[in-house]
A and B are shown apart, each in its own frame.
Chain A
């Protein structure tokens, strides 16, 4: 059944990734969260979820309830209703889930409290080097060498108990625990290794939260689109310019978009990179690279070749 009104839904209690299309909460009668199930990544909305995995998470929640576990209280303690957010008062029409994030973000920006790193929401377990089983959501399938999980001592076959003090029985649980973790620092992690409890810390380095954001509807207005387009150079053309065979190099074709023109790009310019990065990709991959690694408003340097001469164009991404 679909509610016709969302008035009164506490977003601090039902705190989840609102870019999703499906999420389940398991709650005690006094609204303590036993766990979550759902979530996705850039590959698609169903890549992380299975019926078996849902059943596993449900059974874990029932066991927690039977054991009388307290569950997670809402954070912060006071409720949050979207209709009371100042920016929502000016909103016209229906509000979609992802728009709750946009409304709250606009409110923070207006208050001068929004920070750029807040775009890196709901990091994946893979960001700390963990791949979890889909059907048994706390079972470690693989550990990436030299990752935070590897350095903490986690191994394939281990059973994660908690991350950052949040119980883990699903991908959604792990992702939420990581979402609540700092942009840099350490968080505790506990697991069973061959049935024996182990605890350690995950050391989170700068940039650990970065994930492919391009699928997120709430961020469409924050991801830049370079208005450049043209055919990739042939191997011979690259060689004649002293470029490696796989290096990015495409010729800006006519007409040149007004935004590209404003950046200083001209017809027949050869685009070979951004910020002097050595990129081995074609034109389309380059446009996606910029979208995945930059935000609207970022300043960068576009590397081009014009009439045989290398130039650096300072640009501001839109």
Chain B
């Protein structure tokens, strides 16, 4: 089943990481894909800050 926007806006910050090239809509040093960010954190050994922003 396809799920539409849950209303979670998720941003993941891995300190010192670089956003993949060509990532549309991404902010500098922020990732929009948790799986990618988690893989990067594991690779670098750095912690993650995951922000949820929910529509009321």
Contacts and interface: CB of A to CB of B under 8 A. Distances in A.
Interface in B11-56: 11, 25-27, 30-35, 38, 41-42, 44-56
A58 B10 CA distance: 17
Contact of A29 (B8, B33, B47): B47
Contact of B49 (A8, A26, A82, A98): A26
A20 interface: yes
B11 A21 contact: no
A27 B50 CA distance: 8
A23 B7 CA distance: 13
Most chain A CB inside 10 Å of its own CB: which residue of B31, B35, B48? B48
Contact-residue bracket for chain B = 35 or more
Interface in A60-94: 61-62, 65, 82-83, 89, 93-94
Interface string A14-46: 101010111111111111001000000000000
A62 B34 contact: no
Dominant SS among interface residues on chain A: loop
Given A2-B5, A29-B42, A97-B8, A23 B47 contact: no
Contacts, number: 121
Contacts of B45: 29
Interface string A156-180: 0000000000000000000000000
Contact-residue bracket for chain A = 35 or more
A30 B42 contact: yes
A97 B42 contact: no
Contacts of B8: 2-3, 6, 9, 97
Given A21-B54, A23-B51, A31-B38, A95 B46 contact: no
A94 B26 CA distance: 23
A24 B6 contact: no
A316 to B, nearest CB: 30
Contact of A58 (B4, B33, B49, B54): B49
Contacts of A96: 6-7, 54-56
A44 to B, nearest CB: 12
A29 B46 contact: yes
Interface string A85-119: 00001000111111010000000000000000000
A188 interface: no
A217 B54 CA distance: 12
Contact of A83 (B1, B44, B52, B56): B1
A146 interface: no
A21 B53 contact: yes
Contacts of B52: 14, 16, 20, 22-25, 97
A22 B47 contact: no
Interface of B: 1-11, 25-27, 30-35, 38, 41-42, 44-56
Given A5-B5, A97-B55, 8 more contacts: A1-B32, A2-B10, A3-B32, A23-B52, A23-B54, A27-B47, A61-B47, A96-B54
Instruction: Please give me the 3 A-B residue pairs with the lowest Cβ-Cβ distance, nearest first.
Output: A1-B32, A97-B54, A6-B6
